[in-house]
A and B are shown apart, each in its own frame.
Chain A
């Protein structure tokens, strides 16, 4: 069947050889993010800073200067006014009132009252008011959520893998969060509750990608006992390259659809996610694997899920025998070049392992039976 594979099957990029370059790049990006965060900072929406947000819709293009002059008379402090998505939509943002949420309620009433002067009838698409106290609580909840998420990820990876993997994954994770925050600062997208959701999801997704690479590293560590660590890591990253890129690719496709068509309200959210997924993929391929070189995962039989692996190995050996059995039957019909080639590539490690012949006989019998009918 007709297919296009954009990614070659056997890549042999010397990722690990380039690692210093990528470390420098990542370090520069993180420093740039830190500088941006320290200098420009984040544009906190009313969810966190408190205040009033009103989205209005007018019949024809909104006359911002007129609205500005109407609201200017109210002396409400800092008012931000901007077009929102469409010509007829505008966003009014009024900074928090120290007097609290109830004072903001009065402001909403006053703004609506004042805007009756506007020549066209205005419809209110959205009215949000977050009191200063609630804003502080939401910031706190957001920070706690992110810390708890990172801690749980660490615990999970530690439990499923080993400590060195967890350390590598957490560094990659912090890298991704830093880059995401830097990008948010650079683009000036509003940071709100949805941004926290996006960051949490990036944490999950970044782990997701890193786990795919680390899973392969763990597997290869058992498979190739004498291979040098650097070579092994490089091979693992290359082996998982296509799946890392494709999984991120499908997610990006969906996110792009969301970014372009999902409407103005969640544009910031989808942008954050898109950037986070890109950063996560980059760090999984170029950073996470290379980090293991420095934290040195254990090799040999001490690993936690050894028994599981032994099972997998047995299965593989079993399947292997099935295969040779199958191939011998197929030989007459002419097996493909690819098959014979790859047969030689079978890992000697696996060949050495004894399979359960008895069960295999059964399988063979079954197969024969099936072929008869």
Chain B
């Protein structure tokens, strides 16, 4: 146990030096690291969690339930079209939550159905009963595929929206089957971001039904192909005032949608903020055709079920670009442009959880954590020195090295340091010397049975090893479980604690031993000062 082979010594020294090199960059400003710091040295810093640097953590849920329902709604019209084309008579065609049902009048037509509907049904099960009742549902796999792609599409669109705002180093992660974690460092008032992320932003263009009079609209007396949509008033007022009650009758069928957009920009027209947009080639051609056929009619621009404006078509617009002029502020025009560029979310989203920390609290936490760390360290160092004298000093050296290696490792692994993570480090300071205490107490015990200093050290380290391993492993188990179940800050605690246990075993059992062996060889004491 006390024999130190050269390669072992070299390895240990190298580990300590590496720890030091990886720790040092944390004491410099980022700018100095980028300019004056030698480039061949590691220059990563510990990355701070949102609770320390300030920022916003959002857990979002993608509402996938509506997805299937929406598809079924679409399927109804497709089925109707196909059945009419083939002159199959039916009744009670309707869409439920996850199925489309209808009844064929002539039961012999049941046999034809498969071929008739094959064009529109690919991932569906068709359930036909004797009495002519037909039920069409998605296969389980199709539902899974649909939801999966909706989720990844949502993540992609959220990412695009956030990137557009210029937030630095956002994290967007999928969690589970229908959740997304968004972390936005430096955002301490996430209201705007939440609005930006949470908006479905489905843009559609509908023709206004001019046949419906104001009277009809009030009485909700409209034709089946038409629906009433509320007119969006000034978006900045809508927070506290009553939602606008003005309704507009528009054709149910969307002529064009946001998917055909190629670009959107916030700009000004007559000193009013507006959003200009440009369709892709196909969309532009269609847009031209519609505007040509509907001159002097109104064209409603609908965002998430609300009409933002319904301008009159004065003349055909053939260039494929246009302008949305609602009641925009500069900011809301900017937001709409971002949303249109990034695309629509396939499903609506809800915020399940939010944790936002302002820069003030973050800075306070860092300060308090550092002070606690230093005071804890000094207290333990003094205690060990008073209690164990020279040996305590060796344990103190090991303790400081332990701290250096933990911070070095955190920088190297780019693990996130959180406030509970700092607590974990402070706790490690208290627990790291435990191994040395166990060793020293064992050495004392052995020494008192009459051994030489040399052999009591040998026996002390050897005998204490098993105890230390057992007791540290139990704590390590706790840390691993915490890491597996924990989220955010608590995970940070598990990381520093787990790393601390491993590094403390290294410094307390190996580094302290090497130092003591060196001292023993050099001084050859006849008595142990323990």
Contacts and interface: CB of A to CB of B under 8 A. Distances in A.
Contacts of A148: 481
Contacts of B467: 211-212, 215-216
Interface stretch (B30-38, B145-153, B303-311, B457-465): B457-465
Nearest to A245: B437
Among A249, A270, A319, the most chain B Cβ lie within 10 Å of the Cβ of A319
Contacts of A2: 389
A346 B420 CA distance: 48
A254 interface: yes
A144 B352 CA distance: 22
A118 B377 CA distance: 43
Contacts of A316: 459
Contacts of A200: 478, 481-482
B245 interface: no
A347 B361 CA distance: 60
A255 interface: yes
A261 B375 contact: yes
Interface stretch (B15-23, B215-223, B228-236, B444-452): B444-452
B353 interface: yes
A129 B351 contact: yes
B334 interface: no
Contacts of A201: 427, 475, 478, 482, 497
A322 B452 contact: yes
A293 interface: no
B357 A126 contact: yes
Given A253-B380, A342-B450, A126 B472 contact: no
Nearest to B438: A243
Contacts of B437: 243, 246-247, 250
B29 interface: no
B354 interface: yes
Interface in B56-86: 59, 61
Interface stretch (B187-195, B200-208, B290-298): B187-195
Among A156, A211, A262, the most chain B Cβ lie within 10 Å of the Cβ of A262
Interface string A186-229: 00000001101100110111011101100110000000000000
A10 to B, nearest CB: 9
B389 A1 contact: yes
B390 A1 contact: yes
A184 interface: no
Contacts of B497: 201
A112 B189 CA distance: 10
A273 B377 CA distance: 17
B489 A194 contact: yes
Contacts of B373: 257
A261 B484 CA distance: 29
Interface residues of A, number: 101
Interface residues of B, number: 95
B372 to A, nearest CB: 4
Nearest to A334: B526
A152 interface: yes
A5 B386 CA distance: 8
A175 to B, nearest CB: 16
Nearest to B492: A197
A149 B429 CA distance: 23
A13 interface: no
A361 B360 CA distance: 69
A101 B352 contact: yes
Interface stretch (B117-125, B277-285, B362-370): B362-370
Contact of A3 (B188, B386, B451): B386
Interface in A306-362: 308, 312, 315-316, 319-320, 322-323, 326-327, 330, 333, 336, 338-340, 342-343, 345-347
Interface string B514-530: 00000000000011010
B243 interface: no
Interface string A106-149: 00110011000000000111111111011000000110110011
B384 interface: yes
B70 to A, nearest CB: 19
A246 B360 CA distance: 38
Nearest to B434: A247
A251 B450 contact: no
22 contacts: A3-B389, A4-B386, A102-B351, A112-B191, A123-B358, A124-B356, A125-B357, A126-B361, A134-B59, A142-B485, A153-B474, A212-B471, A247-B438, A251-B427, A254-B376, A254-B377, A254-B426, A255-B427, A261-B368, A263-B419, A319-B458, A326-B452
Interface of B: 51, 59, 61, 188-189, 191, 194, 239-240, 350-358, 360-361, 364-365, 368-369, 371-373, 375-377, 379-380, 383-384, 386-390, 392, 419-420, 422-423, 426-427, 429-431, 433-434, 437-438, 441, 444-446, 448-452, 454-456, 458-459, 462-463, 466-467, 470-479, 481-482, 484-487, 489-490, 493-494, 497, 526-527, 529
Identify the 7 closest CB pairs spanning chains A and B, nearest first.
Answer: A254-B430, A204-B478, A263-B368, A257-B376, A251-B430, A207-B474, A204-B475
